[in-house]
């Protein structure tokens, strides 16, 4: 799987080639807590059945993260969160956590999609 950014002008670039899904309640609660580093090409995707306010906290996360909130693959919000203290929330049906800086250039209204999903 890979995570692909589709910019407003039609350019496509791979944000991550090592993509995991938080597919259980435990995985969604744990997220990236306890991680001190992440591979450059890594992303963790949190999918939900419906649109709602989705919050992300950085308690016990020891590395900066970029978080992209999505609604039907459209970017709603992008935020870089600081270790231990950062937090963010947006109304979405999915969000993605990436290493800090990986989402540079991603803007609301653009698209981010997971490709090669089984």
Q: How many CB atoms lie within 10 A of CB 19?
A: 21
Domain boundaries, the chain: 2-115
Tell me the C-alpha distance between 74 and 72, whole Å. Answer: 6
Rounded Cα–Cα distance for residues 118 and 99 (Å): 24
Which pTM was predicted?
0.94
The domain 2-115: what is its CATH number? 2.60.120.1140
41-100 pLDDT, tens digit per residue, is 999 999 999 999 999 999 999 999 999 999 999 999 999 999 999 999 999 999 999 999
């Amino acid at each position: 799987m890979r995570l692909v950014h589709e910019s407003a002008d039609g350019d496509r670039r791979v944000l991550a080639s090592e993509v995991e899904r938080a597919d259980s309640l435990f995985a969604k609660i744990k997220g990236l807590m306890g991680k001190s580093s992440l591979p450059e090409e890594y992303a963790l995707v949190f999918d939900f059945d419906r649109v709602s306010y989705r919050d992300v906290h950085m308690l016990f996360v020891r590395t900066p993260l970029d978080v992209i909130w999505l609604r039907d693959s459209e970017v709603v919000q992008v935020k870089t969160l600081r270790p231990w203290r950062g937090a963010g929330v947006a109304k979405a049906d999915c969000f993605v956590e990436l290493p800090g800086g990986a989402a540079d250039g991603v803007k609301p209204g653009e698209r981010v999609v997971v490709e090669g999903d089984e």
